[in-house]
């Protein structure tokens, strides 16, 4: 807490905030889903000891849900052998005796998922169980139309890049074309974040499809209210022009499923276009915020692409319930997805595309703490040409989830990771929380005046739904 910004944080007691709605409405739904998932897993379990443990986990989840809904005091986390427990419990003690409905939103939400994790970590038979895995893969399966569209475009792009893209073009034309391509792929990556399972708790198959695909992206371009992509592209091009051999790009991941798929589209493009020599994907070590990436999600996605016909021809639960007919993939669609698998698995085998979990990403505090609390990770990020932070939670942690005035410069709001930090940061964020910075004068007021934007209520409702986005850059190496 000592390293966090001195600006007050978003609180679950603030009735004008999304924190207020999250604690009272979203979190109980998420816990109910977790209880149902374990109940289903226990129902098909034939091992007596595992069944018994599963029922104990269900009881723990139900108790947590009761405490949350009845605004009980948060209690110290049980020691599951991981070093972050001490930090969580010290911070809880420093906060006094907070209740669920009157506490820092960021701490409470991280505590919620960390406590869920302890139920499984302290078991014998459920240690590696991901209570959210079923949802993550089901949502990826439901994203089939957008996956196929992007896969075909990606293959076409790679073939062009490996041909002679310089034919009959001036250097100025080439630079402009490369810039446009980089921006479009980053925007695909940005809007892939519109599918966030922790927020869209009642998402239907049709809703998922509406959030994805080229038409949705085109209609959303006007909703990027701050866009620094040209500056980020220039950094990568300058490093390429200098002939640097080691031009690493780091991507701090957010959601699994379709969003991880588009993150891999971006990573693969950077490698094929020689805008990066290697890409490091940073993921969580434990199941987190429902849909966040853990190492097993990366493996599951590659496995789905390795056998796409079997994956997409097996009905998801919702499709079985609605008796929806599943069309098999065409030979061309199988070939395109296999192309992606061969490319990405090849990069992975060569060590040019790696996934790297770190317990820092599931600590309770802001990223303002990084230089002081995890110097090894901080020094690693300083070696990168560009560190791309994906999604809303990463943005909240970068800015301390603090109630900054919306015109506060992004470089100010990220504190120790800002100017002279040695880290170049690009954040791709669809807005799903109250904190937002780097807006021009009057922009927040204009957005509040839009339909459903909050008006004069005191609430920044326009920033809650993922309709609007910010893409912000800070060059900490200047």
pLDDT, position 175: 78
pLDDT at 173: 73
Joined together, the tokens standing for residue 234 give: 């220039």
Q: What per-residue confidence (pLDDT) applies to 363?
A: 98
**β pairing state of 353-357 and 424-430:** unpaired
Total count of residues recorded for the chain:
478
Q: What is the mean pLDDT of residues 254-273?
A: 95
* pLDDT tier, 199 (very low <50, low <70, confident <90, very high otherwise): very low
How far, in Å, CA of 417 to CA of 387, rounded? 11
Residue 424 has φ and ψ, to the nearest 5°, of -90, 125
Is pLDDT above 60 for 166?
A: no
* Angstrom distance (rounded) from CA 263 to CA 354: 13
CB 347 within 8 A of CB 274: no
Distance CA 375, CA 378 (A): 5
In the numeric block, which tokens belong to residue 87? Answer: 């930090």
Q: Pick the closest to residue 188 from 232, 238, 239, 147 (CA basis).
A: 147
Distance CA 326, CA 44 (A): 26
**pLDDT tens readout for residues 28-77:** 999 999 999 999 999 999 999 999 999 999 999 999 999 999 999 999 99
Which element (helix H / strand E) includes 226? strand 224-227
> Stretch 421-446: mean pLDDT, rounded?
97
- Alpha-carbon torsion angle 357, 359, 360, 364, nearest 10: 130
**DSSP category for residue 73:** B
Each residue's pLDDT tens digit, 436-470: 999 999 999 999 999 999 999 999 999 999 999 99
Q: Which of 98-107, 146-155, 261-270, 273-282 has the lowest mean pLDDT?
A: 146-155
More confident residue, 459 or 156: 459
What pLDDT is stored for residue 326 in this prediction?
87
Angle between helices 331-350 and 144-162 (to 10 degrees): 60
Angstrom distance (rounded) from CA 212 to CA 144: 10
Give a three-class secondary structure readout of 283-349. Answer: ECCCCCCCCECCHHHHHHHHHHHHCHHHHHHCCCHHHHHCCCCCCCCCHHHHHHHHHHHHHHHHHHH
Which residues touch 307 (CB under 8 Å, ≥6 apart)? none
Q: How far apart are the first and last CA of the chain?
A: 28
Query: CA angle 436-194-200, nearest 5°?
Result: 100
CA angle in degrees (0–180, nearest 5) for 380-401-61: 95
User: If we measure between CA atoms, which residue out of 42, 414, 461 comes closest to residue 228?
Assistant: 414
């Amino acid at each position: 807490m000592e390293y966090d910004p001195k600006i007050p944080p978003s609180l679950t007691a603030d009735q004008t905030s999304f924190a207020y709605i999250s604690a009272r409405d979203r979190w109980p739904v998420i816990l109910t889903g977790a209880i149902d998932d374990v109940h289903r897993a226990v129902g098909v379990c034939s091992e007596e000891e595992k069944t018994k443990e599963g029922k104990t986990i269900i009881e723990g989840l139900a108790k947590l849900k009761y405490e949350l809904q009845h605004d009980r005091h948060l209690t110290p986390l049980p020691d599951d052998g991981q070093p972050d427990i001490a930090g969580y419990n010290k911070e809880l003690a420093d906060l006094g005796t907070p209740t669920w409905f009157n506490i820092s939103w960021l701490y409470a939400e991280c505590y919620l998922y960390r406590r869920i994790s302890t139920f499984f970590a302290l078991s014998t038979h459920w240690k590696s169980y991901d209570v959210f895995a079923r949802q993550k893969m089901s949502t990826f399966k439901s994203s089939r139309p957008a996956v196929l569209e992007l896969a075909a475009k990606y293959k076409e792009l790679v073939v062009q890049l490996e041909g002679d893209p310089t034919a009959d073009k001036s250097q100025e034309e080439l630079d402009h074309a490369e810039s446009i391509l980089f921006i479009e792929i980053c925007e695909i990556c940005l809007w892939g974040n519109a599918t966030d399972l922790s927020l869209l708790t009642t998402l239907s198959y049709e809703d998922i499809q509406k959030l994805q695909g080229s038409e949705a992206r085109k209609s959303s371009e006007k909703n990027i209210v701050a866009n620094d992509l040209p500056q980020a592209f220039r950094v990568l091009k300058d490093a390429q022009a200098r002939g640097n051999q080691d031009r690493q790009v780091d991507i701090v991941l957010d959601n699994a499923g379709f969003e991880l798929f588009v993150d891999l589209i971006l990573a693969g493009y950077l490698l094929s276009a020689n805008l990066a020599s290697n890409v490091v994907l940073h993921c969580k070590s434990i199941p987190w915020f429902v849909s966040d990436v853990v190492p097993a999600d990366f493996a599951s996605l590659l496995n789905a692409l390795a056998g796409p016909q079997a994956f997409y021809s097996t009905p998801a639960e919702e499709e079985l319930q609605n008796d929806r007919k599943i069309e098999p993939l065409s030979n061309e669609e199988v070939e395109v997805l296999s192309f992606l698998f061969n490319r990405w698995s090849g990069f992975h085998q060569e060590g040019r595309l790696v996934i790297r979990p770190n317990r820092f990403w599931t600590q309770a505090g802001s990223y303002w703490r990084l230089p002081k609390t995890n110097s090894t990770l901080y020094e690693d990020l300083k070696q990168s040409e560009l560190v791309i932070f994906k999604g809303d939670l990463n943005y909240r942690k970068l800015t301390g989830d603090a109630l900054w005035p919306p015109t506060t410069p992004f470089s100010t709001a990220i504190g120790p990771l800002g100017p002279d930090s040695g880290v170049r940061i690009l954040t791709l964020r669809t807005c799903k929380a109250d904190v937002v910075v780097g807006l021009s004068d009057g922009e927040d007021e204009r957005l509040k005046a839009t339909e459903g934007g909050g008006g004069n209520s005191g609430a920044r409702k326009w920033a809650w739904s993922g309709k609007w986005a910010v893409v912000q850059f800070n060059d900490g190496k200047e």
